[in-house]
A and B are shown apart, each in its own frame.
Chain A
């Protein structure tokens, strides 16, 4: 099985698209809550294959985008210190805080490093015993097992000069917050495939039942998304509201039990601020018990001012799928990836940034046009 070619095959895509067109009898709005899925949809121009009755909206699925500015400011303050090595995934580096991004700190001489895994940060801690090594632990449930393992290994091996700046967010509480809002336009969900690889999909059963919405666990290749959309549309047309698993090659109902065990040993559920959405109760992870000593928030006290968001930014409406990025007056004019006014323009998986980069600047399919001069 060659995933890269077979899950991107044009003929199969056309077949799925035809099947969706055949099923659809009325308009439906479907949301995905996963930056990786947003990215694939916009990058492959998937919406061009769908009938106009289907509206795809992009939820708060980009953990980079929903990280509060205050936490970026905290990261910047820690990274500026001469005794620290600040480690992070790549896309966090560009997020502007109140005055600087981590990239700026790096350019000014701060020791900021891109790593692919928190265990690489732990290696740095071992290799640099006189310096503090901090890892920016951002992500949905997907990245939690690796972060938990890093803290667990640090504890096991007695490594003191390591800490995590935690910004984990959880999908099911976000889904409930969206569904319980009176402005909710979403009729069906594609659940994030890799979140479910870790957590399974049992948590979604009560949500599907309570709000009567179909939820389909979906993968990340174009054919996965088309199949997930087909399954969701089928449920909607047939009046069902079940949890189904399109991504069966990587997701089991119970998920990855050893990963869940490690997570629950190291983390506990906590309330969390979601940039653009406000506080959602029980929607994040924080370090618990003996692992609290690895909490960078406690290790590096920091008095920052509460950050002010731009009044022009409508990210709350974007993240709930009520408006699309190109419907915002500031989009691609005042608000660009170089100069983002708010959360969804910040990372390449945020809805606004994805629309900007991949040219979805009008409602219909991509037209060639003059690109905005400010960004050149």
Chain B
């Protein structure tokens, strides 16, 4: 028996080994290394020694106007995205669960942008905003579109980012709503119908409360994915047109993930980038905990 036990234990580690080793190598060690490096003077250039500098990077991060600006626009971008993606996705879900013809084709069509990589999407939409939109504006006689390049202005470029992420993400969130809508019990709706509830009343009093668990998921996903946006940001706008913020010229459409990346890739200050990344992580966790708390509270038990 004792021998079996021991063999069992060895087999446990044998089966764990491939995944565990990769996991330790790629996530655990770098995570703790990263924590350590955020307190040092590590740079992306060759250096003779890496020394501990205490909280300097964190203080620098809080003083860094580009980081503050990125946090602000990322928050705005995330909020706009949450609202727009979910409204569109929900409407699409209602549409493709209604009794129209060709539902499956619609579903696949709306979902398609989601399987295309963000980098490629960004280039496609660069063309849309730079060539297609001005031409359409001209054809419709809207002079504004012809005179203003959407991507050349920090504010409109941010809106452009929201449009592209909505286009990319709505079909995916739609399918989560579709799954949830199909789970709303038919007899509940029929009972309400017999009681004389109007379609709007049925929607407000049955469908929406029954969908609260789905809202928890969709809001969480849009929140986290918007906050971490990098690919579309990098290829559609890049750092963007420069603007004045708190008396300094800075990049107008640099979302947080890009700000972190460029702090190391462009400015070569990897330790500062690392400190920013850890702040980013903490902020993201706080935001998502608040969101999950708020939506969970509204879920109903059946």
Asked if A and B bind, the verdict is no
Chain A residues at the B interface, C-beta cutoff of 8 Å: none
* B contacts, CB < 8 Å to A: none
